[in-house]
Amino acid sequence: MATPRLSSPLNLEDRTLWFGTVELYEDTVVISGWTWWGRVRETIPLESIAVFEKWSTLKGQNFCFVCNGRAPVWGRIERGAELWALELKKEEGIELKRRH
């Protein structure tokens, strides 16, 4: 598999995910980790992400992927959230929203 352009530890808002990771590849975002039922790997095509919303906070969620045709993905990028904003801002078709 290709090397990710960006990789960060991740916690999801609506489910338990141990050792969670979010990775940015050429045309996808991959969320992986472990749940009560075993290893999970979820792929989100970049073309389906309409909005990447990011905000600064010390605790709790700090981002949301708003996707076409699926539920939003809320969570916390533990390290490098601003790098994610900068990288996704470069992608055509993804709107960057920042909360203050």
pLDDT at 15: 84
CA distances from 96 to 2, 13, 24, 86 (A): 25, 20, 16, 9
In angstroms, the CA 18 to CA 32 distance is 9
Q: Residue 86 phi/psi, 5° resolution?
A: -65, -40
pLDDT at 46: 96
Note the CATH number of domain 6-99.
2.30.29.30
In angstroms, the CA 14 to CA 2 distance is 29
Q: Residue 17 phi/psi, 5° resolution?
A: -145, 105
* pLDDT tens over the chain, length 100 residues: 689 999 999 999 888 899 999 999 999 999 999 999 999 999 999 999 999 999 999 889 999 999 999 999 999 999 999 999 999 999 999 999 998 7
pLDDT at 99: 86
